[in-house]
A = this chain, B = another copy of it.
Amino acid sequence: MTVTNAQNQTAQHEILMRGWLESYKPGKNPDAGGLIRVRGDNTIREAIVPKRVTGVEDIPTQSIVEVYGYAGEGDEPAIATDIEVLNRAEALPVDLRNIELSNDRYRHLHLRTPKLRAALMFRHFVQKYAREFLESRGYFHVHTPILTEASCVCSGDVFTFPYYNKKIATLIQSPWMYADSLVGSLEKVYALNPSFRREREPTTTHLVEIWQLQVDGAWETNETAMTLEEEFIRYMANMLRSNHADLYSMAGLSMAHLNDFEKSYPRITYDESVKRIRKLGFEMEYGDDFDDDALHALGKEFGSPFFVTTYPKRLKNFWFPQLEENPELTPSNDLFSHTGQGEIIGGGERVNSADQLASNLEYYGHDLDEFDWFLETRKYGCVPHAGFSVGFDRLTAMLMGVDHINKATVYPRLPQGGLRP
C-alpha cells in the first residue's frame, strides 16, 4: 500500500498519520466510530476509527502509532482503516494534563504537553529574533568559556572544583568579562552562554543555571546602550506579536501584554526611583537594593518595562567607571519588567583605564592577581565601550507573560533543587 503523509492529504487520498497517541474516545452510539487524536509534525490530527478497526481502546496514550486510512470527502473527517503500534507505552505514571510545574520528577514527559512545547518554541524564536536584531546591528556571535580561574562574582556564590595540576576551576557567572575582552578584536560582540550562580533560596525569578545573553560594543555609551536595549526588547515583542499568535494560544496565554512593549520605556535615576518608591508607601533608604514588591509596584505605575539609571558605585560592580561630575555614581542602567519577572537587563559603560579598574577591583574586594589578564585588556589599548547582559530565561518569561521562570525553561536547575532529569 502506498500512503501519503497527512500534511499532503487530499480527498480520496490514502493518508498516514503518525506520532504520539494523544487520546482515543469511543463513539457515544455503540455503532458509531470512535475518534483518535495523534500528535505529529507539531500538530494534532484526528480521524474517525470505524467499529471494524478494533483494539484501539487498549493502546496506552503516548504510544507511537501509524494510522492508515483515507481523507474524508469535502469537510468530512479522515477515516482510519488500520492502526499499527510502533512503540507501545506503559501506563503513564502521572496525568500529563494536570501535572504541576513544580514537579520536576517527570519534566521529560511534561515537556510533551502543549504549554511546555510552546515554551520550547518560544525560546527558539526569542533566540532567533535576538540574533537577527543584533546581527543586523553588526554584532558578531562569540563563544566565551565556562571554566575559568576567577569569575566576576555578579550575584550569588560560585561553584568550584579541582582541575588539572591542583588548579581550581570556577564555573563562570557571566560571559561578560570574556565578551568584553573581545571588543578589542571585533568591536561589536554578543555571547549566549550558560552561566552559573549558587543562589541560596528558590524564587520565581532565579535559576542556578541560566542562559545569559551578553552584548558589548565599541564606542557605545550608557545612553546609546539603553536605546539599543529598548529597541532590542521592542523588536522581539513585535516579532512575537506579528508571527506567533498560535504559540500564545497553544500555551493558553494572552497576548495583551505585548502592547506594553510598544511604549517608550521610562528612564529614571536610582535617586528618583528611591523617591518614587517611598511615595508608593514602601520603606527604602538611599543606597538600599530594591525590594521586589516595590519594583513591581513601580512597574505597574509605568505600565511598561522601565530603566533605572545612574546607580551608586557601592551597589554596582568593578567594571563600571565613575561619573566625572560625581565619582560616587556610575553610568549604569538596569531594565526591569513591569510584570513581575524582575531585572531583565543590566547594562552600562565599562571602565576603560587600567588604574581605575585596579582601584575598582580593590574597592570590591577582589584579588588583583586573578584578574591580571583582564587588567591587560585595559593596559594595552582599550576602546571606550558599553554593553548589557540579558537574562535569557527571564526575558522569555516576560515576553511569554508567565509568572514563574520555570514556565519558560527546559530543564530548570532551581536553587536547592535536583539535577535529574
Task: Known A161-B159, A193-B194; judge A373-B420 contact (CB<8 A).
Answer: yes
Complex: chain B residue closest to A409, CB-CB: B143
Complex: chain B residue closest to A127, CB-CB: B141
> Chain B nearest CB: distance from A129 CB in Å?
12
> Within 8 Å of chain B (Cβ to Cβ): is A281?
no
Complex contact B92–A380 (CB within 8 A) = yes
Complex contact A145–B413 (CB within 8 A) = yes
Complex contact B147–A89 (CB within 8 A) = no
Chain B residues whose C-beta falls within 8 Å of the C-beta of A108 in the assembled complex: 181, 184, 373-374, 376-377
| B-facing residues in A29-67 (Cβ within 8 Å) | 40-42, 60-64
Bound: A90/B355 CA distance, A: 12
Complex contact B418–A149 (CB within 8 A) = yes
| B-facing residues in A159-189 (Cβ within 8 Å) | 159-161, 163-165, 167, 169-170, 178, 181-182, 184-187
Complex contact B163–A160 (CB within 8 A) = no
Q: How many copies does the complex hold?
A: 2
Complex contact B160–A161 (CB within 8 A) = yes
> Within 8 Å of chain B (Cβ to Cβ): is A109?
yes
> Chain B nearest CB: distance from A382 CB in Å?
5
Complex contact A211–B181 (CB within 8 A) = no
Chain B residues whose C-beta falls within 8 Å of the C-beta of A116 in the assembled complex: 185
| B-facing residues in A122-142 (Cβ within 8 Å) | 123-124, 127-128, 131, 135, 140-142
Contact with B along A382-421 (1 / 0, CB 8 A): 1110000000000000000000000000110101111111
Complex contact B381–A181 (CB within 8 A) = no
> Chain B nearest CB: distance from A260 CB in Å?
26
> Chain B nearest CB: distance from A312 CB in Å?
26
Chain B residues whose C-beta falls within 8 Å of the C-beta of A418 in the assembled complex: 149, 167
> Within 8 Å of chain B (Cβ to Cβ): is A250?
no
> Within 8 Å of chain B (Cβ to Cβ): is A146?
yes
> Within 8 Å of chain B (Cβ to Cβ): is A153?
no
| Other-chain residue from B62, B178, B208, B374 in contact with A411 (beta carbon distance below 8 A) | B178
| Other-chain residue from B163, B169, B372, B380 in contact with A62 (beta carbon distance below 8 A) | B380
Bound: A128/B135 CA distance, A: 10
The 10 A-B pairs at the shortest CB distance, nearest first, are namely: A62-B381, A161-B161, A373-B421, A89-B381, A149-B419, A111-B185, A149-B420, A124-B140, A145-B411, A108-B181
Q: Which A residues are within 8 Å of any B CB, using their own CB?
A: 18-21, 40-42, 60-64, 86-87, 89-90, 92-93, 105-109, 111-112, 116-117, 120-121, 123-124, 127-128, 131, 135, 140-150, 159-161, 163-165, 167, 169-170, 178, 181-182, 184-187, 193-194, 196, 198, 208-209, 211, 218-219, 352-354, 370, 372-374, 376-377, 379-384, 410-411, 413, 415-421
